Structure 1
Amino acid sequence: MRRIARSILAGATLAVALVAASGCTSPSPMRPVPTTAPPAATGTPTPSATAAAVDGWWRIAGAPEALAVDLRAPWSVVALDEGGALISQRDDGRVLELTTAGSVREVGVVPGVVAGGEAGLHGLAVHRDGDATWLYAYHGAESDNRVVRMPLTGVSGSFALGAPDVVIDGIARSGNHNGGRIAFGPDGMLYVTTGDAGNREASQDAASLGGKILRVTPEGDPAPGNPFGTAVYSLGHRNVQGIAWTADGTMWASEFGQNTWDELNRIEPGANYGWPVVEGQAGEAGYVDPVAQWPTDQASPSGIAAVGDTVFIAGLRGERLWAVDTQAGAVAGEPTAALTGEEGRLRDAAAAPDGTLWVLTNNTDGRGSPRTGDDVLLRLTLTRTG
């Protein structure tokens, strides 16, 4: 199934290629939603936010290259500004480092991770506060999902984790629909995606943390300006596993549908995205329609990345990387797909500081027993198309 060049790259920066390569599928229905201004910037951008600093539309060019191989149920990758990356492994709670020299080593194990079903160690985010650097992690614990932060000490090749502090807990967990993506936005606030954990009604309950996108300070308090005065930023979600910001500051989220439509949504504070009342583009008053949608066998979207004004969406069941160009908060043109069936299930995507796109595969079977060597971190060269 895999047709990648298995070269382990060091820290060298790849030049942007000159030709685009992307495969198309049949057109997907879409309808833009009204544009609103993004929240005002109040903090210093972190690696997850600065990756979208370029503009324009982008596509994959050339064949993918392997940065790391033999990963076990990887879930999240965070590219570091100084080079290298951190990778989470869902089932064993390990955080791995891809060093600037191209080797892979263990940074540490996040304490308190309890894996089972789709729960375990999920999203990672790095935040710098003065001289301190923190690694944030979303993970399943004994009776809930939670976000913790740990001091990240050392330099490339010697990173280590300090003791964790709880940032936010009490997020419902189950065998599936656990959400799990975290990222610092352009406003310096921490955004957290949660699933409905099998309790559909929770998504419409503004007092529940389930089926939401949360926005909190780096310490875990409700962020200033949140629409309900709580940690809740948006509601009516089923299972969001990807968030990113395009160059204009617009926030986007990928969402698993149930039986019919997977979604890409433009996220607005206080907006209701309809689950479980509606799925996909319903045109019902009171609910915000997705800007793009796909049949579930073409997507099952997990992590997303924004490069300029293009959103890249990693598809699990769909086994493809969707590229969606945006303009002024709406989709511009038809989404296109790359890597279709070539690398298997795609779990995460990250915009790297050198202008490339990193994609994490997740070909672990449903019982949590990885096929050794089948999960990799890929590096994809990009070319500008508009």
Structure 2
Amino acid sequence: MIRKRNAIRPFHRAVLLTALACGTPAALAQNTRLPDPIPGTLPTAPFSVTLRPLLKGLVSPVAGAVAPGQPGKLYIVDQVGIVWQAAVDASATEKNRATPFLDVRNRLVTLGARDERGLLGLAFHPDFASNGRFYTYTSEPATAAPDFSTQPAGVAPNHQSVLTEWRVTTAGAVDPASARVLMRIDQPQSNHNAGALAFGPDKLLYVALGDGGAGDDQGPGHAPEGNAQSLAPGNVLGKILRIDPLGSNAANGAYGIPADNPFVGKPGADEIYAYGLRNPFRMSFGPDGTLWAGDVGQGAIEEVNHIIAGGNYGWRIKEGSFLFDANGTGPGFVYAHSPNSPLGLLDPVAEYDHADGVGAPVLRQAVIGGYVYTGTSIGGLQGQYVFGDYIGSTGSGMLLTLGPRNVVQRLAVQRRDPLGMAVLGMAQDASGELYVLASENGSLTGTTGVVLRIAPPPPL
């Protein structure tokens, strides 16, 4: 049972934003960086797993999805712009296991080797078996008018995040002419794009957006208080949105606004479900309806959140459960542990710091949100949230799980310690089994991208 927490009240929000405008939440004259916010190392789970290859030869697999009515398939998103459909049953062979399903490479911005942009999200409508609709989240050139923008006058965005609806034919192939844009969002910078898409038990679509990029959630295209904290008209960055893709009462007429969204009636914020997020790159619904999101931190803390309606998750007032100093003359930093304070901000259910990586401290550490395990092949994982950490081009990616009292634990992989790959995403098939999406170089070059099934270790 997840205890429901109250969203931030208007008075508390005003106090927070006033403090933030003064430089720090506590309005201190000088703060000192915490070099090791969470002392110690991550414990290891009391059991181990193995990884079994499902797909190889991809570039940068970042997400997976299941289409209702197709329990034997897993759809894999390659960031460079291709969705693959892969058979997960035992009858498939390496030669016939995967075929292209959708190619959107011609819609994307030009991607660099370490780009965070691309094809970032995929979700199938719960009624896909009858209506054939699915949705993608892409990074595209800013060639059309945006539905949402934080850009100052005369300053062009880096690109646009585009949410598109597609339909399949009766033969199961994608109809290219069916592409229908639901929304376009100007992005100030090339990073912190988020991109996760997920349908909830309510059959509504949840869309994750980062704070717009750069550092400290500040600069051109960022609100004075930071995009993640802003509920100003047009600012949907640093938020999770909730929409009805089959509706039409949005301002552009392309989708619907659920009447029970927490900010309905506030100009420019009808779509917002939760805010105060830096880069919720991956999110998923658990079997009990809880929305889990891994929010990528800046320089110190990685966090896992339970997302609730109206929740404010603290960025850039906090990073995890620590107060954050946006500095202004250099990179921001955490300086004090402040659990459950300031009032009205929601702390993560689990967090770990950047000193917990293999070969710590490390650079390019980023939480990769996962799934609650509901499969049957690994008894020790039943009901646990399984996720990962990227850890850059060092090949030191980690698999993680939440143990008792939501303690973050390393999930040991037999014959792969360290993992030897960068973890890019997670996937879950219709049977509840889990997959690691990874690559050897953690970049958009080469074809070292793989999809690996998490499996029990072989018997002794």
Report the TM-score when normalising by structure 1.
0.76
Output the amino acid matched with 2:291.
M
* Change over 3 Å in CA distance of 1:218–1:296 after alignment to 2: farther
* RMSD of equivalent CA atoms: 2.7
Which residue matches 2:386? 312
Which residue matches 2:258? 223
Which residue matches 1:132? 131
1:251 deviation in Å? 1.5
Which residue matches 2:351? 293
| Contact residue 320 and residue 346 of structure 1 kept, 8 A | yes
Greater shift, 195-204 or 159-168, is seen at: 159-168
Structure 2: gaps spanning 5 or more residues: 7-44, 143-159, 219-225, 247-254, 265-269, 322-337, 358-364, 375-382
Q: Does 1:378 align with 2:452?
A: yes
Give, in whole Å, the separation in 1 of the partners of 2:259 and 2:440: 40
Which residue matches 1:344? 421
Structure 1: gaps spanning 5 or more residues: 1-31, 38-57
* Change over 3 Å in CA distance of 1:213–1:59 after alignment to 2: farther
Give, in whole Å, the separation in 2 of the partners of 1:89 and 1:61: 28
* Change over 3 Å in CA distance of 1:36–1:325 after alignment to 2: farther
Output the amino acid matched with 1:260.
A
After TM superposition, list the pairs within 5 Å mapping 1:319-358 onto structure 2: 319-325=397-403, 331-339=405-413, 341-358=418-435
After TM superposition, list the pairs within 5 Å mapping 1:69-148 onto structure 2: 69-80=56-67, 81-91=70-80, 93-99=81-87, 101-102=92-93, 103-110=97-104, 112-116=107-111, 117-127=115-125, 128-129=127-128, 131-143=130-142, 144-148=160-164
Larger Rg, first or second structure (1 or 2): 2
Give, in whole Å, the separation in 1 of the partners of 2:46 and 2:385: 10
Q: Which runs of 4+ in 1 moved over 6 A?
A: none
| Contact residue 301 and residue 316 of structure 1 kept, 8 A | yes
1:171 deviation in Å? 4.7
Report the TM-score when normalising by structure 2.
0.64
| Contact residue 115 and residue 140 of structure 1 kept, 8 A | no
Of 441, 445, 452, 1:369 maps to 445
| Contact residue 122 and residue 197 of structure 2 kept, 8 A | yes
1:364 deviation in Å? 4.2
Q: Does 1:275 align with 2:315?
A: yes
Output the amino acid matched with 2:98.
V
1:175 deviation in Å? 1.8
Give, in whole Å, the separation in 1 of the partners of 2:103 and 2:46: 35
1:161 deviation in Å? 4.3
* Change over 3 Å in CA distance of 1:303–1:289 after alignment to 2: closer
| Contact residue 355 and residue 382 of structure 1 kept, 8 A | no
After TM superposition, list the pairs within 5 Å mapping 1:111-260 onto structure 2: 112-116=107-111, 117-127=115-125, 128-129=127-128, 131-143=130-142, 144-153=160-169, 159-162=173-176, 163-172=178-187, 174-198=189-213, 199-200=217-218, 201-207=226-232, 208-219=235-246, 220-229=255-264, 230-260=270-300
Aligned length: 322
1:239 deviation in Å? 0.4
| Contact residue 195 and residue 240 of structure 1 kept, 8 A | yes
Which residue matches 2:329? none
Identical columns (%) = 26
Output the amino acid matched with 2:349.
V
